[in-house]
Amino acid sequence: MEAAIEIEGLTKTFGHGPDAIASVDHLSLRVDKGEIFGFLGPNGAGKTTTVKMLAGIIFPTSGAARLLGKPLGDVATRARIGFMPETVRLSTFMRAEDWLGFHARLYGMDAGRSRARVKEVMARTGLAGRAGSRVRDFSQGMMQRIILAQAIINEPDLLFLDEPASALDPLGRRDLREIITGLRDRGTTIFLNSHLLSEVELVCGRVGILNHGKLIRVDKLGDITGPVQVVDVKAEGISSETAAAIRRLAAKVEFGLDGRFTATLDSEEQLGKLAEIITRGGGALKEFSPRRISLEDAFLEEIGEDGSS
Q: What are phi and psi of 160, to 5 degrees?
A: -105, 130
The CA distance from 275 to 250, in Å, is 12
Give least dist CB 77 to other proteins, A: 8
Question: Burial letters for 286-303: b for 16+ Cβ neighbours within 10 Å, e otherwise?
Answer: eeeebebeebeebbeeeb
Q: Rank residues 78 and 130 by Cβ distance to other proteins and give the closer one.
A: 78
First to last CA, the chain: 33
Q: Show the site string, 8-47: x = touches Mg ion by CB under 5 A, - = not.
A: ---------------------------------------x
Q: Where are the alpha helices (DSSP H) in 88-169?
A: 96-106, 111-124, 140-152
Among the listed ranges 37-45, 173-181, 215-223, 264-272, the one in contact with ligand ATP (CB under 6 A) is 37-45
Using DSSP's 3-state secondary structure scheme, residue 80 falls into helix
Among the listed ranges 40-48, 144-152, 171-179, 246-254, the one in contact with ligand ATP (CB under 6 A) is 40-48
Q: Rank residues 48 and 194 by Cβ distance to other proteins and give the closer one.
A: 48
Q: Does 77 bind Mg ion (CB under 5 A)?
A: no
Q: Does 191 bind other proteins (CB under 8 A)?
A: no
DSSP, res 294: P
The CA distance from 234 to 248, in Å, is 18
Q: Rank residues 150 and 229 by Cβ distance to other proteins and give the closer one.
A: 150
Q: Rank residues 48 and 189 by Cβ distance to ligand ATP and give the closer one.
A: 48
The CA distance from 66 to 155, in Å, is 20
162: nearest Cα among 181, 176, 182, 183: 176
Q: Does 48 bind Mg ion (CB under 5 A)?
A: yes
DSSP, res 135: G
Q: Does 43 bind ligand ATP (CB under 6 A)?
A: yes
Q: Is 68 left (phi over 0), alpha (psi -120 to 50) or beta?
A: left
- List 52, 124, 130, 145, residue binding other proteins (CB under 8 A): 52
- List 14, 113, 267, 284, residue binding ligand ATP (CB under 6 A): 14
Q: Does 44 bind ligand ATP (CB under 6 A)?
A: yes
Give least dist CB 43 to ligand ATP, A: 3
304: nearest Cα among 28, 21, 45: 45
The CA distance from 37 to 30, in Å, is 10
Among the listed ranges 36-44, 105-113, 169-177, 288-296, the one in contact with ligand ATP (CB under 6 A) is 36-44
Among the listed ranges 51-59, 62-70, 173-181, 267-275, the one in contact with other proteins (CB under 8 A) is 51-59
Q: Is 206 left (phi over 0), alpha (psi -120 to 50) or beta?
A: beta
**Sites of contact with other proteins (CB under 8 A):** 52, 55-59, 75-79, 81, 83, 85, 88-94, 102-103, 105-108, 147, 150
**Sites of contact with ligand ATP (CB under 6 A):** 14, 23, 41, 43-49, 195
